[in-house]
Structure 1
Amino acid sequence: MTEKKKKIGLIPRLIIAIALGILVGQFLPAWVTKVAITISGLFGAFLNFIIPLMIIAFVSKGIADLSEGAGKLLGVTVGLSYASTLIAGSLSYTMARTIFPSFIKPELAEQVQKATANEIAPFFEIPLGAFIDVTAALVLAFMLGLTVSALRAKGSGETFYKGINEFNEIINLVLAKFVIPLLPFFIFGNFCNLSYSGSVFAILGIFWKIFLCIIILHLLYMVILFTAAGGYTGRNPVKCLRAAVPAYLTAVGTQSSAATIPVNVACNRKMGVTRQIREFCIPLCATVHLAGSMITLTACVFTLLSMFNMDHSFTLLIKFIGILGVAMVAAPGAPGGAVMSALPFLPVVGIDSSGTLATILISLYLTQDSFGTAANVTGDNAISMAVEKIYYKHIVKRPIPKEDFEDEARIEL
């Protein structure tokens, strides 16, 4: 009998894609980078098309599977996510206020403007957009899931439930056979572009101390979330964090919480979270749990306000954080979506949303967007663990069911 060949796992493939992208962008001719960017752009267009379908498939099925307490579960998940986002923003302000003044100098603004992009364009693009935006998809998923759950509780609605199930299976098949295998190529193209333009590395060279503080806070906040969720649910936080590594690396490469949903669902499964909870919480949290993005935005806004000697009091920033926690919903689905959603609200802190400061903010944020997205995604797992216990202990008041995981279709990590 021939032995089965061992496949390279997702984590090594992602690391290889990142390393190759940096090398190709730096040392090979521009046309090689242009080819990689073109392929990556086509795949990115497909991702934009399928992201709303993923949300509809996963969230509607997750809610429809619940025979009772669906509305309460939705409220608990959104409430925990928003609270986590506010806490993360407050911690970021505290860190920035304490540490950043020794790093920030007024002349840094001019250096940032000189370091901005020299990115290369793809050979061509296909205008494939989503037929429904992410927010509308989320509302539709809520509507379908809640109504089918209510119908099933009355002994009807099985036809609709079967349709939701089959649609969920179709999306799972597309993800497992097409999206996940091609993610490393998408990441490769992204890093070719970043490496070729050099803009990210230039800005990192100027603000590396600030970005290092932000990334450390991301990691610390993830440890806090998993420690709290592990202590509450009785799970080992170290093992759970280790299980989330593939999702973290995928998010670093894609810069999109929504694009990481299928990998994150598989990671959540490895933590032992029940199927109906993980397939409800992970897609929902990808749009409403924004802790990493909030840490980055708060720190970047504080940096700008300090550089230009503008008001950066906690009273002002907490108002901005509270508004952004709502305004950024569904924004992390697209790379850089969080900062673009924040632009209309910059006047709250005295920044013109179309002026020079806004341009600098976009450059600062995008340089570090990958790590904020990765913190969002990783933290979603901790939220789902807590939601699962709250749902079974306080809403339906019955033991968490033991699932037969072997019978489930799964994405190999």
Structure 2
Amino acid sequence: MNNSNTLFRFLRGSLVTQILIGLLAGILLAWASLHTTNDSSLPAVIINGLKGIADILGRLFVGALKAVAPILVFILVASSIANHKQGQKTNIKSILVLYLIGTFSAALVAVLGSFMFPSSLMLSTHDTGITPPNSVIEVLNTLLFKMVDNPIRALMDANYIGILVWSVGLGVALRHASNGTKEVVSDLSYGIAFIVRLVIRLAPLGIFGLVTTTLSDPAAGFDAFGGYIHLLAVLIGCMLVVALILNPLIVFCITKRNPYPLVFTCLRDSGIPAFFTRSSAANIPVNMALCKKLNLREETYSVAIPLGSTINMAGAAITITVLTLAAVQTLGIDVDIPTALLLSIVAAVCACGASGVAGGSLLLIPVSCSLFGIPNDIAMQVVAVGFIIGVLQDSAETALNSSTDVIFTAAVCKAEEQKPATVGTSAVRQVEES
């Protein structure tokens, strides 16, 4: 009886603790798998069987998140706008400005990091079979057509730009509906949120599976990166600078308070799951739950979080900039300051067009390479290098992207909460002085 009570308390306990346990278990199983011979002995059979189960758990978890995320975004955004009361502030404009500033600033950090620690690539020649966009205009053109996509197809294909446009339109239309209709939409959003909470509770098992599958692959696990360690160090170093210095500085400027408790909470509760799912879109339900835990305004985060998963791409801007400048260094092309600034702008624009799935930013590297006259075949070799190091690069990139969504949303909400107190304090001081 005591054992069952202990298990029940563990299952109802801290989700982060359970995720860390799943992480450690996945690392141990992956290590055991790499050191087990492929024979018919009992230990090998057991380990291979557990590895197969772990692979299924990981794919099921990511599949469940990706399945629930589109309908979650559609219903929550429509419900939030439909039930929005006149005079109620959403602060979306302020959050959008932070998203753009953060993405551009991350590109600048990547430029500085690449100049301080230049990287060279051993460019391969194998054909990746990928057709990238040829210009920034093409990226913007694609985004515009995504906005007018068929709503059913947008939900099926997880086209979040189209989902946002249709959910905003439906929400605005439903603002003139009867109270009963609005309540139905609101109840539907609660139902979807309940399903999301059930999926998130499976995160420890999912991360156990994802870690095991990733690290047990000899070609992409513990010894995957060899000569690309320097390039990875520059990439991840720039992302750490943004996560631990730039983002806290932006939050401090907004809230005038110590930013690190909020930053570390978001990195732990959003960054860790995103690191292993490697998908900003799949991490939307996790971020929604974190915003609720932080007591943020639902009418704000229900729009800001899915919006951030598509345009707040600091990690993608870093990836595009660092890999492009690595190709430039390899080819011996000189880069002046105006060109570096232009590259930062292009990288930020391209990052906003990166898809919310694993590896999305790599397809946009040829766009920034075209600034320096780098032929498309060489640019595609850079993309191939990106896929080689993608296990850690894409994971760190997604963790930064996803956690920053919550950080900036929370910063604006917290700053808005402080305004009445500030006004009240000023009024008291004026009375006392008089």
Provide the TM-score with structure 1 as the length reference. 0.77
Q: How far 1:324 sits from its partner (Å)? A: 4.4
Q: How far 1:90 sits from its partner (Å)? A: 0.9
Contact kept? 1:233, 1:385, Cα under 8 Å: no
**Does 1:144 find its partner at 2:144?**
no
**Does 1:374 find its partner at 2:374?**
no
**Does 1:189 find its partner at 2:204?**
no
Question: Which residue is 2:282 aligned to?
Answer: 259
Q: How many residues align?
A: 371
CA distance in 2, matches of 1:316, 1:167: 50
Question: Which residue is 1:26 aligned to?
Answer: 31
| Structure 1 unaligned spans of 5+ | 114-128, 401-413
CA distance in 2, matches of 1:66, 1:205: 53
Contact kept? 2:107, 2:321, Cα under 8 Å: yes
CA distance in 1, matches of 2:224, 2:89: 45
CA distance in 2, matches of 1:333, 1:70: 30
Question: Which residue is 1:76 aligned to?
Answer: 94
CA distance in 2, matches of 1:345, 1:299: 11
**Does 1:217 find its partner at 2:230?**
no
CA distance in 1, matches of 2:396, 2:375: 25
Change in 2 beyond 3 A, CA 1:148/1:392? farther
Contact kept? 1:226, 1:379, Cα under 8 Å: no
Contact kept? 2:252, 2:259, Cα under 8 Å: yes
Counting only pairs closer than 5 Å after superposition, residues 14-413 of structure 1 correspond to structure 2 as: 14-28=19-33, 29=44, 30=48, 32-68=50-86, 73-98=91-116, 100-101=117-118, 104-105=119-120, 108-109=122-123, 130=156, 132-149=158-175, 151=176, 156-177=177-198, 179-200=199-220, 201-223=222-244, 224-244=246-266, 245-329=268-352, 331=354, 333-343=356-366, 346-349=369-372, 350-352=374-376, 355-388=380-413
Partner AA of 1:46 in structure 2: A
Q: How far 1:250 sits from its partner (Å)? A: 0.9
CA distance in 1, matches of 2:58, 2:325: 34
CA distance in 2, matches of 1:147, 1:95: 47
Provide the TM-score with structure 2 as the length reference. 0.73
Change in 2 beyond 3 A, CA 1:140/1:160? farther
> Which structure has the larger Rg over C-alpha atoms?
2
Change in 2 beyond 3 A, CA 1:38/1:270? closer
Change in 2 beyond 3 A, CA 1:74/1:274? closer
Contact kept? 1:251, 1:257, Cα under 8 Å: yes
Question: Which residue is 2:14 aligned to?
Answer: 9
CA distance in 1, matches of 2:17, 2:304: 27
Q: In the TM superposition, what whole-angstrom CA distance separates every residue of 1:27-58 from its partner, at most 9, and x where no partner exists? A: 23555434432342233333322221122133
Q: How far 1:330 sits from its partner (Å)? A: 6.8
CA distance in 2, matches of 1:186, 1:340: 27
CA distance in 2, matches of 1:146, 1:343: 39
Q: How far 1:159 sits from its partner (Å)? A: 4.3
Contact kept? 1:85, 1:291, Cα under 8 Å: yes
**1:355 aligned counterpart, secondary structure:** helix
Task: Give me the identity figure in percent.
Answer: 21
CA distance in 2, matches of 1:228, 1:194: 34
CA distance in 2, matches of 1:391, 1:142: 23
Q: How far 1:213 sits from its partner (Å)? A: 3.7
CA distance in 2, matches of 1:323, 1:142: 28
Contact kept? 1:336, 1:366, Cα under 8 Å: no
